[in-house]
Structure formats: C-alpha cells, structure tokens
C-alpha cells in the first residue's frame, strides 16, 4: 500500500523537474530568438545608414573637389602677395610669415 504512493511521488517529482527544465530551455530559446531579431534589425539599420552616407559622399564628392580647386589658387596668391608685402625675409616677422605661409 505504501509502495504506489512512493512511486507516484517520485514520478511527480521527476515530472516537475522535467517540466521546469523544458520551461527554462523554452524561455532561453525565446530570449535568444528575440536577441537575434534585434541584432538583425540593428544590422539592417546600420546597412541603410552606411548606404545613405555612401550615396551622400558620392553625390557631394564632385562639389567638394570643385570647392577645393576653387579655393587653393586664391589662397596661394593671397599668401604669396602678403609675404612680399610684409617682408618675410626679416627675422622679426618670422612667426607671422609662417602663419601666412600656412594659411
């Protein structure tokens, strides 16, 4: 009479342990699936941002080249002319001459 009670008790304990383990595995799988979906969304967003920046860079590169070409010669002429006007050969104005030569 006592034996069937122990058998059912052991069976119930094993069932509880098994169901707990299965619940934990299911919960972990769902969490991993959510994390993978979020990572995929972030990767898609980063890819879209990368492509948008690449397109903007491609569209603006000719404009930047034109700006650089247009600004180099006036600056070079300005600094050469100022170097002659300020007399960069003197030692007292050496710092000012270096500044003018850079900019």
* Domains in the chain: boundaries: 2-102
- pLDDT, average across residues 71-100: 52
- Amino acid 64: pLDDT: 79
CA nearest neighbour of 74 among 31, 99, 103, 36 = 103
Summarize pLDDT for 21-49 with one digit per residue, the tens: 999 999 999 999 999 999 999 999 999 99
Band of pLDDT at residue 93, cut at 50, 70 and 90: very low
Angular region, 87: left φ>0, alpha ψ -120 to 50, beta rest: left
CA nearest neighbour of 80 among 62, 102, 61 = 102
CA 65 to chain centre: 26
Summarize pLDDT for 63-75 with one digit per residue, the tens: 778 777 766 555 5
* Spatial separation of the C-alpha atoms in residues 57 and 50, rounded to whole Å: 10
All residues at 6 or more sequence positions from 103 whose CB lies less than 8 Å from its CB, including other chains: 75, 79
What does the block give as tokens for 13? 């304990």
Band of pLDDT at residue 3, cut at 50, 70 and 90: confident
DSSP, residue by residue, 40-51: HHHHHHHHHHHH
Q: What is the pTM of this model?
A: 0.49
């Amino acid at each position: 009479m006592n034996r069937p009670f122990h058998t059912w008790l052991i069976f119930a304990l094993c069932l509880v342990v098994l169901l707990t383990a299965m619940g934990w595995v299911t919960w972990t799988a769902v969490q991993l699936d959510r994390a993978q979906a979020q990572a995929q969304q972030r990767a898609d967003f980063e890819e879209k941002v990368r492509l948008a920046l690449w397109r903007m860079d491609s569209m603006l590169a000719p404009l930047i080249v034109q700006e650089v070409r247009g600004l180099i010669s006036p600056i070079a002429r300005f600094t050469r002319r100022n170097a002659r006007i300020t007399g960069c050969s003197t030692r007292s104005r050496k710092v000012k001459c270096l500044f003018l030569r850079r900019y």
